[in-house]
Structure 1
């Protein structure tokens, strides 16, 4: 009988001892048993395949960057080539949005359920003296209790003067449910610090040398920058808890359940500079400048939900938010009095509904603030329909009203021009989204967005960066299509995006056209011991008035004085998969070996030169 202890030595005549008998290999669990669960309970499993999509995601963000234009160093910010205005926040967000691309929000943290311990190691080279490493480990100590821990660290010196980046993201999660499946809990803790040295971009002489392509500045460290004594850092800590209790146990046809969510977060943005620079105007201090902005936010939400096959899922919810944003001192200026804090409590109520009828799936979710200093609401409804087994359509309608980010409303700085307190109107957004998803044919997404009271950073008549609000309507449409063609061992993957700002082009600048095309070869080599993909990826966007970057605010601002040329980006890649290890080798900007490079990520900030990058993604199943 299995599990019974056998004596050592000889057994019956002709039989072998236990030590000599061949051991039975324990069957490995299927890969589909290694579950990844999002905060909204969507479930997938660990993917160990090598595809062109994995190549697109093999970068510092570990996301597809099709609509982002990176700065010259890894870990710096990204200029946006396109926008998705998805607003489901009832309160203003924290500022310094240019530093948030690698910031793990609640929806970025996943939870796990695995049959054996699972480890993933991500490594990639950077530009001079450093690397990116993301190490992850998860284990189920019992079938219903999972722990995971991860740390993503990066350091890169960069090719230009004073653009060193150093970041760290720590995450820890717990996923638990009781044996009777009536109680479910997901919780996580994250601690993050994202530091960038700031140099203000190239100065006037270096800008001329860069555009002229002078031979002596092929070593980019020879180019002078505007200053070399500043850095910006975003800090963040968050504890999140999402738990629910089912009356009949999860998965039952008819059920009542109560749910509670707690989000306690603390953010801080710090800008430090050794001495004041004329680029930002006059300053109250000539040296030791230090701007520190903080936000403490505690959000509690309770909901009561009912689900059945007849009525679908119905939920009613209420939320309480306590926020405290601002600074440690008030300012009494000639232009007016500037407070130091925006703080208070917000009470909100809402509901959600979901129902499936045949091939139709409908969902709706909405919430509104009913008490407090900030008005806000959102409502989103969607209907999906499966035309065929591999063709699904989805229509989503959403509307929202939300105050602009906190740094639009209140900001303090040692620089005179960076102090303000505004009473801006809510940004009102309506959006219509139509999507077709078909792995066999193509993916298509068409969006129309209308915004009133759009808030942005721009330049005033004195050429100073200031928060502004557009008093007319912005109408914005975009269409994105994806399709891959396979010809034997060759494939041609294409992503095309067309967009147009119908009204408000002076405050929302985007290129009309963006494309990415990958032509590559794929096959098994060495008796299927190696699976490889190799080829070229071509990226291009059309000319437009590219947003400029402000390091004091860590924000991008609208500029309409200089139209920047669109430019191609060509990379050669050679990727391989050996067992559970995926190896990535890339020659970035390979075309610049022939054409040179005089392109920009933002005004004054040059784009990346030719570079050789290497990395790997390794999964371990114990």
Structure 2
């Protein structure tokens, strides 16, 4: 850490003392031809040589390294390309909860289980495993960047936060030739416990996250054929704590101190590994007509162990053990093969896509059974199930590519279906979705040392109407929003962590607005929501929520771009869902009200040429005019005041 800070200090000193030493960016003559860059960027001269200006300065940079997403290709937007992000706004936000502006909830510390604060209707049909607590730490398929670069591109990121939370990220990409690119990305995220460390020899490490991505794409010489492919991996391990036992012997408000013990032992661990193999292929048969294939293979292994289960039972984290009172052990395996084949293209101003889709999936649960103490037995197997799905997607662009009308339909033969329509213009965005989905596999069948259920739940139906109205002036943009959900046959986990299905209908109405205000060097951005819930006994959402930040931007010595700011997040009191680590599910509880609270941060983002730095004091208001802490999830304390530092260094040659 000292070495890294020394390097940063030297970099800062060099640019401040010698501001004229910065190399000016020069635009590429004639722009960039897509797809394909100028080659690998390693040789000099010739077709694949380095790009030079008249002063022999290299001009590789963000404008010579572009990227696109698979959705752009699928939706017939092949020419769309994006620049590398070198901007300062939101660079201070780097944990999943912080990046979501507080709309995501964890167990009080980075690397732990998460859930959405607001109700989110499903977007995909077909049965799913239903273990989503670590989704925000995995690489999301729709966020994978397929890169086209004129040079070798390396991206380095390092973050250090409170309780020794650290993140290291490495990315590399290179064009083998103008039509073929490959790249890789690796990330390591760790966090330490805030409480529950029993002694000097006890384990302080809380969460560990490894992710890895290998991706590439290829365009044929005549541009008729293309292939995109990637492999992504998640390895997530967490020492579960079950929440804190408040230290009521301390002075002041003892329930918010960080000196208490954990409710379960150091021997409790969740460990999840995911493998995703993905290939997208497309071939142009004629103008406006292509055939495509999208293939996925996904594997998930989830393991939970606790070699001192009596402590968790004693403090009410687990129900009583059914077979082995001292040891909990289970393995859950899930595999999915998903293949989509269809046609797509453009016709008379319409973009269209029609396809058939096959899903082959299965789940196995290995747990404890009577007379198998210390050993695992096959307790439940779904067998492989096969789904046939047909789908259609249409889009019509209005006056320009930013305004369009879309409609889509998808039907799982004999069961699930989805209908959605949306209009998106510069005056209004509005849509309607009706989706009926199969219940999660984990909610249907599970057998283990502490739980046993077999259910035959019906389809869950959600009808959603949403809309937003952008109101713009020269410096102000306000966007009022509304979302209405009518939910039928909702599946939830009750106060005993058992899945149930509500046979009646309830509705949720979320009203709010987002705001962006720019006044000279001052910038304000944020959001606020009010939720009306017709069934608070089944689904718990805070009635009031607000999150935002205000920043001031200025330049020093012509090369040092600085943004200083203040951010805050507020949510009203509510009986938030508790967490059951064995099944990785959040469930209802009626005994612990998570009190209203404001979490505020002070931060500064700095850019020197292409290097970005972030400095933040998180939870700066801890103990000021209020309690000494707050709870994110019942029993789980939110992060205390802590300083964090980050650096991002993209290199283009």
Other-structure match for 1:434? 467
Other-structure match for 2:155? 120
Residues 279-334 of structure 1: CA deviation (Å, up to 9, x unaligned)? 322221133421111111101110022422x151233210111111122579799x
Other-structure match for 1:370? 413
**Residue 540 in structure 1 maps to residue 570 in structure 2:** yes
Other-structure match for 1:268? 301
Relative to 1, partners in 2 of residues 1:119 and 1:606: Cα closer, same or farther, differing over 3 Å?
Answer: same
Q: Distance in 2 between matches of 1:534 and 1:354?
A: 42
Relative to 1, partners in 2 of residues 1:138 and 1:438: Cα closer, same or farther, differing over 3 Å?
Answer: farther
Q: Distance in 2 between matches of 1:383 and 1:210?
A: 58
**Residue 244 in structure 1 maps to residue 282 in structure 2:** yes
Which of 63, 67, 74 does residue 110 from structure 2 map onto? Answer: 74
Other-structure match for 1:582? 612
**SS of equivalent to 1:77:** coil
The CA deviation at 1:73 is 2.3
Residues 35-90 of structure 1: CA deviation (Å, up to 9, x unaligned)? 222221164523444343333x43357833331234332211235322332x2322
Q: Distance in 2 between matches of 1:406 and 1:211?
A: 47
* 1:59-458 map, 5 Å: 59=95, 63-85=99-121, 87-129=122-164, 131-161=166-196, 164-203=206-245, 206=246, 208=248, 212-214=252-254, 220=258, 223-248=261-286, 254-277=287-310, 278=313, 279=316, 280-283=318-321, 284-308=323-347, 310=348, 312-328=350-366, 339-358=380-399, 361-370=404-413, 375-387=415-427, 393-415=428-450, 418-437=451-470, 441-458=477-494
Other-structure match for 1:490? 522
Q: Distance in 2 between matches of 1:394 and 1:177?
A: 35
Relative to 1, partners in 2 of residues 1:282 and 1:398: Cα closer, same or farther, differing over 3 Å?
Answer: same
C-alpha contact 1:127 1:159 (8 A) present in aligned 2: no
Q: Distance in 2 between matches of 1:346 and 1:599?
A: 45
Q: Distance in 1 between matches of 2:143 and 2:448?
A: 31
Residues 7-56 of structure 1: CA deviation (Å, up to 9, x unaligned)? xxxxxxxxxxxxxxx9742562573443222221164523444343333x
The CA deviation at 1:208 is 3.6
The CA deviation at 1:424 is 0.4
C-alpha contact 2:296 2:339 (8 A) present in aligned 1: yes
Which of 520, 523, 547 does residue 516 from structure 1 map onto? Answer: 547
Q: Distance in 1 between matches of 2:634 and 2:379?
A: 32
Other-structure match for 2:559? 529
**SS of equivalent to 1:107:** helix
Q: Distance in 1 between matches of 2:536 and 2:84?
A: 41
Relative to 1, partners in 2 of residues 1:556 and 1:44: Cα closer, same or farther, differing over 3 Å?
Answer: farther
Other-structure match for 1:480? 512
The CA deviation at 1:227 is 2.7
**TM-score, length of structure 1 as denominator length:** 0.86
Higher strand share: 1
Other-structure match for 1:19? none
Q: Distance in 2 between matches of 1:494 and 1:299?
A: 38
C-alpha contact 1:402 1:427 (8 A) present in aligned 2: yes
Which of 502, 513, 531 does residue 470 from structure 1 map onto? Answer: 502
Relative to 1, partners in 2 of residues 1:370 and 1:618: Cα closer, same or farther, differing over 3 Å?
Answer: same
Other-structure match for 2:16? none
Q: Distance in 1 between matches of 2:484 and 2:157?
A: 37
Q: Distance in 2 between matches of 1:565 and 1:330?
A: 38
The CA deviation at 1:259 is 0.5
C-alpha contact 2:406 2:422 (8 A) present in aligned 1: yes
**TM-score, length of structure 2 as denominator length:** 0.82
Q: Which moved more, 1:353-362 or 1:278-287?
A: 353-362
Other-structure match for 1:11? none
**SS of equivalent to 1:582:** strand
Q: Distance in 2 between matches of 1:401 and 1:114?
A: 43
Q: Distance in 2 between matches of 1:332 and 1:473?
A: 40
Relative to 1, partners in 2 of residues 1:492 and 1:188: Cα closer, same or farther, differing over 3 Å?
Answer: same
**SS of equivalent to 2:91:** helix
Residues 512-563 of structure 1: CA deviation (Å, up to 9, x unaligned)? 11112323321001x2221111122121111111111111111111223433
The CA deviation at 1:471 is 1.4
Instruction: Report the count of equivalent residues.
Output: 573
* 1:42-57 map, 5 Å: 43-55=80-92, 57=93
Where in structure 1 are there 5+ consecutive unaligned residues?
5-21, 249-253, 388-392
Q: Distance in 1 between matches of 2:558 and 2:119?
A: 42
